[in-house]
Chains A and B, each alone.
Chain A
Amino acid sequence: MAANFWTSSHFKQLMDQEEVDVVHSPDKEKGITLEDFKIIKMHMANYIWKLAQQVKVRQRVVATAVTYMRRVYTRKSMTEYDPRLVAPTCLYLASKAEESTVQARLLVFYIKKINTDEKYRYEIKDLLEMEMKVLEALDYYLVVYHPYRALSQLLQDAGMTDMTHLSWGLVNDTYKMDLILIYPPYMIALACIYIASVLKEKDTTAWFEELRVDMNVVKNISMEILDFYDNYKTINEERTNAALNKLALKPSLVKLE
């Protein structure tokens, strides 16, 4: 499985953007827009990353956790599955799946340490209950592939290891989007190399041609990443909280369009 992405559950579960962008009806009833949906998921990806820094697990665990969280919300609503609990739970589960187990006790300690907002302060019991619900929501598929391995190999192959730092950072940022649910990880890696080479003004045309990959897909992913960077600038904490606050509303108070 680790050897063959094409026979993996990850490959079989890849979705179209349109499928990923479905706001579930309980959330819609509370006025959550697609934009809100994306902002909350991005915020939770950041939250997972912050927690991961505290409990000291590696980037790969973070990446798996964020992927779990995004997969959960292709199937479940945020109304039923509070993102403020789902996010740390996904980190907890990913730490087990990636053989870097973090104790629930420790995670809850840091949850409380970095959050003053009561809405984030969940207890061990909540985490353990949600762990089972997340497992179920994931349909027990836990193996996730990431672009990192492909990235290192491709950069080596291209003789561009000097771009490792930049492109690695770009790959990290792709987890703020849903790309991992939509494209094979090596395509995401290629898009990041492509962006990095453009930024560094390196001519990689010949190298990409030799790879015989669909450059349209690589360029599309690259455009999505660049679009994301443009939009990301305008999103602040206020905007995120406004989106999250909608989840607390009673559905009847919201005007349906």
Chain B
Amino acid sequence: MSAGSGNSSMSSRGSIGSSTHNNATATANSSSGSNSNSNKPAWLQQYDLIGKIGEGTYGLVFLARTKSNPNRGKCIAIKKFKQSKDGDGVSPTAIREIMLLREINHENVVKLVNVHINHADMSLYLAFDYAEHDLYEIIRHHREKVNHSINQYTIKSLLWQLLNGLNYLHSNWIIHRDLKPSNILVMGEGEEQGVVKIADFGLARIYQAPLKPLSENGVVVTIWYRAPELLLGAKHYTSAVDMWAVGCIFAELLTLKPLFQGAEVKATPNPFQLDQLDKIFKVLGHPTQEKWPTLVNLPHWQSDQQHIQGRKYSDNPGLYSVVHLSQKSPPYDLLSKMLEYDPRKRITAAQALEHEYFRIDPLPGRNALVPGQPGEKVVNYPARPVDTSTDFEGTATVQPSQPVSSGNAVSGSVAAAPVVAARSVPRPMPMVGMQQRVQPPPGMTAFNLASQAGMGGGMNPGSSIPMRAAAAQAHQQQQLRRKDAGMGMPGYPPPQKRRY
């Protein structure tokens, strides 16, 4: 097979056949587009594209639906990796993700269902089981729309499943390194409803016998969830960094606010995040050598004495008051053990699963999204926003100025209707972020309108819709978050640039 003539997919899972030879025109698809479906690479033809759900430095994430049995109608998320611009082939991020996800299999870890290569444009696609929700959106929904806290059963079930997945990863010597609410997915309607899936393994790695100190990969973990040993410049860190992040996420589930919201310094490749440390110390007090004996060996602790050691944090309010828990309550006990300064004393995922908190009422369950008590109100979380105007090439094929909601409401494509019948109605996405203003080729317009028509038809009752009228500020936030999407899951601050 010569380069540029083959498409292929991973062989051992799913029913998808491998190499076919019709994709020489694949890249021409979006520009010529006489018939969008027949010109698509064979492996893409097994899916109906619904739209774009995320964007990151590596490429785009799409929502699609399987066309044929045995999984007809099943939603999948397709992550497209662009060939890296620096002329260095498949991005190490993609390699890491494929490498790890190809080995692991756990209910609480996102499932890689297929890998596809398009030789014509050297792009790589990873197909995952689609999850409708993530903790970022769940927390935000409560904070901005519901105005009451997440119920105790849901918090406990989410946390237990997160720990269960993490325990599996850690016992297989994998550190995730980038846990944050947007990377913790939760399944929507269906057999796996309310099941947690840990996603985005672009930074994850095996930590047995590293060839280089882990820190040489560049700074990792979004700063709000970054463990103090990393902030203080530890060279060889452990799975305990993930547990710190879980502690921060636990607190955020309780209060709906990020626990340690530091301002990030982005100037240098290995920035010393003084503000983040400051935020932590204000709540937890100063770490002491007594409590954390190896503290003195950490580079930044030594080198920046006047900054961090000089400040006094004697009048901190105490973690319990920040998260509104009694100091003697089991959830507070668990949380404080996750936020232990010394990584060697910090609770492990395995220990956390055994904690008393999970043995008292309400007990954690598999579907985290049902009410804990009979009679309690069900919260309808909004579906992920889908930009239905973007095709697999990332080309915007509908005029960005088109009002999405009315466009949806009037379309009545019969052909597309069955495809979306099972999907809960998503919020239309604001179109402000669209960069490309490409005129739609005739064929593609039809394709996209069809899928768009199916998507619309109503508004999600559970959420008010961020429309054009919404404040510009909201749009900016939306755009900011979308740049940091892993699996289409928007997160808070964009990740640090990594060195390879």
Contact = CB atoms under 8 A, between A and B. Distances in A.
Interface stretch (A47-55, A132-140, A168-176): A132-140
B117 A3 contact: no
Interface string B1-45: 101101010111000001000000000000000000000000000
Interface string A106-138: 000000000000000000100111111101100
B181 to A, nearest CB: 26
A3 B208 contact: yes
Nearest to B8: A136
Contact of A2 (B87, B206, B211): B206
12 contacts: A1-B100, A8-B103, A93-B90, A93-B95, A100-B212, A103-B88, A127-B89, A128-B83, A129-B4, A131-B89, A135-B117, A143-B206
B292 interface: no
B288 interface: no
Contacts of B174: 1-2
Contacts of B104: 1
**Chain B: interface residue count, which band?**
35 or more
A1 B88 CA distance: 27
Interface in A61-82: 61, 80
Nearest to B98: A140
Interface in B100-146: 100, 102-104, 115, 117, 119, 122, 124
Contacts of B205: 99
Contacts of A139: 10-12
B99 A143 contact: yes
Interface string B78-102: 0000010001111010010011101
B95 A97 contact: yes
A124 B86 CA distance: 12
B210 interface: yes
Q: Which 6 A-B pairs have the closest CB atoms?
A: A2-B173, A142-B99, A1-B103, A129-B3, A2-B208, A128-B89
A104 interface: yes
A1 B173 contact: yes
A128 B103 contact: no
Contacts of B102: 9, 140-143
A105 interface: yes
B211 A132 contact: no
**Chain A: interface residue count, which band?**
35 or more
Contact of B92 (A60, A101, A104): A101
Contacts of B210: 99
A116 B212 CA distance: 33
B92 A132 contact: no
B211 A135 contact: no
Contact of B103 (A9, A100, A104, A129): A9
A133 B92 contact: no
A98 interface: yes
B171 interface: yes
Given A4-B172, A97-B95, A104 B211 contact: no
Contact of B211 (A9, A98, A131, A141): A98
A239 interface: no
Interface of A is mostly: helix
B471 interface: no
A149 B212 CA distance: 16
Contact of B10 (A100, A101, A132, A140): A140
Contacts of A133: 1, 3, 6, 119
B470 interface: no
A36 B396 CA distance: 53
With most chain B CB atoms within 10 A of its CB, the pick from A2, A80, A99, A140 is A140
Interface in B398-439: none
A2 to B, nearest CB: 4
Contact of A97 (B12, B99, B208, B212): B99
Contacts of B472: none
B117 to A, nearest CB: 5
Contacts of A149: 208-209
A148 B172 CA distance: 19
A211 to B, nearest CB: 22
A104 B88 contact: yes
B415 to A, nearest CB: 34
B448 to A, nearest CB: 28
A92 interface: yes
B85 to A, nearest CB: 12
A58 B211 contact: yes
A60 B89 contact: no
Given A4-B172, A128-B122, A135-B90, 14 more contacts: A2-B206, A9-B103, A99-B210, A104-B87, A104-B89, A124-B87, A132-B124, A133-B3, A135-B117, A136-B18, A140-B102, A142-B102, A143-B99, A149-B209
B309 interface: no
B217 interface: yes
A140 to B, nearest CB: 5
A114 B209 CA distance: 31
A99 B83 CA distance: 18
Nearest to B169: A1
B325 to A, nearest CB: 35
Nearest to A60: B211
Contacts of A96: 89-90, 92, 95
Contacts of A143: 99-100, 102-103, 206
A105 B98 CA distance: 24
Interface string B347-358: 000000000000
Interface in B161-210: 171-174, 205-210
B90 A136 contact: no
Interface in A7-21: 8-9
A142 B211 contact: no
Contacts of A58: 211
Nearest to B103: A1
A9 B92 CA distance: 20
A93 B4 CA distance: 19
Contact of B1 (A80, A127, A131, A135): A80
Contacts of A140: 10, 98, 102, 115
Interface string B294-308: 000000000000000
B39 to A, nearest CB: 21
A105 B172 CA distance: 34
A149 B210 CA distance: 12
Contacts of A103: 88
